[in-house]
Amino acid sequence: MPLYEYRCNHCQLLFEELIFAANEDVECPDCDSTDVEKQLSTFSFKSSGNFSSSGGSSCDSCSRGTCVNCSSHH
């Protein structure tokens, strides 16, 4: 089951969703809109108990501080 990142085109929320089928409809968890866009994800890996992302620092890669990674830091 792949985990994908989406942005809602209605409320601009960034969120993650587990997808079970290729044709599965995805709804925004905030406003229930189905007008969502799949985002390009950075690859992450775990090494020596720490997570690392190919996108660099989690909040440095987000332009407005609204991404899933940054929202947990603010």
pLDDT tens-place string over residues 7-64: 999 999 999 999 888 888 999 999 999 999 999 866 555 556 555 454 444 455 455 5
CATH number of residue 37's parent domain: 2.20.28
Number of compact structural domains in the chain: 1
On whether residue 66 sits in a domain, the answer given is no
Under 8 Å CB-to-CB from 22, ≥6 apart: which residues? none
> Does 5 have pLDDT greater than 70?
yes
On whether residue 33 sits in a domain, the answer given is yes
On whether residue 50 sits in a domain, the answer given is yes
On whether residue 26 sits in a domain, the answer given is yes
> Does 2 have pLDDT greater than 80?
yes
Edge to edge, the sheet with strand 3-8 lists 14-18, 3-8, 36-38
On whether residue 73 sits in a domain, the answer given is no
Q: Are 17 and 4 in contact (CB under 8 A)?
A: yes
On whether residue 70 sits in a domain, the answer given is no
pLDDT at 57: 45
On whether residue 67 sits in a domain, the answer given is no
Phi/psi of residue 65, nearest 5 degrees: 70, 20
